[in-house]
Amino acid sequence: MASDPLDSRADHAPIAVFATTHWSVVLKAGEVPGDESARALDSLCRGYWYPLYAYIRRLGHSPHDAQDLTQSYFAYLLEKRLLTKADPESGRFRSFLLGSLKHFMANEWRKQHAQKRDSSQTISFDATDAETRYAIEPIDESNPQRIFEQAWAVAVLDQAMGLLESEYNASRKEALFNQLIPCLQGDRLDSTYAEIGSRLGMSEGAVKVAVHRLRQRYRELLRACVANTVADPLDIDGELQHLMAVLS
């Protein structure tokens, strides 16, 4: 009888092990500066630079200026430790980032641009990759904030997907993940559950269970990723609904 490779939940470490530090923790970390809080802040910024880049590009800035603006903004954010000084009542990390970017562009960029930046304080990213991603943004969507919201939603979904893939890889279940991933992307499976089971040495019923667990775990990780971007856990459901709405 074929076994179900996901018959043990012990393979899954707690979500907190994989998810980045919750924003409320980063906010409070401003009271006790240290390497841990700095790493948490850096991790959050690295996960969400692209929506800001896309927003700046849609404002009409060239790729070079958009890259410089994004880098300068994050250097400013990290140097001034603005996130750790933010009011927890500001709630959503995406709202804080966009609002502080607008302030930076209006009041600080020229000043920062005239000074030599400390390269150790920048968020590195591939400019070519940034433009490749920007090129597939909807051409009929001219609202910069709408582009930001859509890119943010995709970034959250991608983060959850990356965590899920890492879990399966760590458990040596890459083959199962690769066979079932279309179930999470809205695509139809190329094969039936029975055919997939035959290739993986599983029963058809075991594949159905594996699909259920894959979807359930993805929902858990997605919720955890959203939790990392809100200060109040009561805002998680509302933020999830918002992200789904901007992608619909």
- From 29, 33, 31, 104, select the one nearest 71 (Cα to Cα): 104
Task: Name the residue type at position 241.
Answer: Q
pTM over 0.85: no
pLDDT at 88: 56
pLDDT at 28: 54
220 occurs within a structural domain: yes
2 occurs within a structural domain: no
60 occurs within a structural domain: yes
- HSE value, Cβ hemisphere, 13 Å, CA-based, for 156: 28
Task: Name the residue type at position 60.
Answer: G
111-147: b (≥16 Cβ within 10 Å) or e: ebeeeeeeeeebbebeeeebeeebeeeeeeeeebeeb
213 occurs within a structural domain: yes
pLDDT at 10: 37
Collect all residues with Cβ–Cβ distance below 8 Å to 149 and sequence separation of at least 6.
51, 94, 242, 246
Tokens read off for 69: 């603006």
165 occurs within a structural domain: yes
4 occurs within a structural domain: no
pLDDT at 200: 93
pLDDT at 6: 36
pLDDT at 57: 92
In a structure prediction context, what are the per-residue pLDDT tens digits for the chain, which is 248 residues long?
443 333 333 344 444 333 445 565 555 545 555 666 566 666 767 778 899 999 999 999 999 889 888 888 888 887 777 766 666 555 688 888 898 899 899 887 767 665 555 544 556 666 677 787 777 777 666 789 999 999 999 999 999 999 999 999 999 999 999 999 988 876 677 789 999 999 999 999 999 999 999 999 999 999 999 988 887 888 899 999 999 999 88
233 occurs within a structural domain: yes
pLDDT at 174: 94
| Structural domains of the chain, count | 1
Q: Which domain holds residue 200?
A: 9-247
Q: Are 37 and 30 in contact (CB under 8 A)?
A: yes
**Can you give the three-state secondary structure of 199-242, one letter per residue?**
HHCCCHHHHHHHHHHHHHHHHHHHHHHHHCCECCHHHHHHHHHH
